[in-house]
Amino acid sequence: MTAPKVVGTETIKVLARNHKNPQMLDLDELTLRAGRHYRWVRCRADEKGASVMKHKLKGYIPETKENGVKTLVDPDDRPDNVIAIGDMILMSCPIGEYHRRRAERRQLNDAKMAATTAVTKQMAKEKGVKVISDSDDD
């Protein structure tokens, strides 16, 4: 993962999964649109676009060359003008939507942890096992 880029007052993360050369998927920070969250999405023929479709359902749209976003490496030429390097395409969504989804996922994870902790404590109580915890709610 590359370091966050700062554009205006918004921080825009660009997730790159090229471990051999992570800079290959870097974006020109001067061309990024404020208020957008960018990420690279794998687009393989064997997946039949499943990863791209999953991200579209989350509100991401493919970035095209007409939007003005530039990569530090020349992107591949595609007939639909989508910015792509290899089997990765660049997608973006409004940063507010990105933060909303993350907060929603965090709340869901917290609820799951609380439920699991309660079940574990109940099972321990039934077995007569003392539960040692560093939380204040015991």
pLDDT digits (tens, 9 = 90+) for 93-137: 999 999 999 999 999 999 999 898 889 888 988 998 888 877 655
Indicate yes or no: pTM above 0.75: no
DSSP 136: S
Number of neighbours of residue 87 by Cβ within 10 angstroms: 15
Distance CA 45, CA 22 (A): 23
- What are the C-alpha distances in Å from 109 to residues 54, 103, 106, 127? 20, 10, 5, 27
Phi/psi of residue 90, nearest 5 degrees: -90, 130
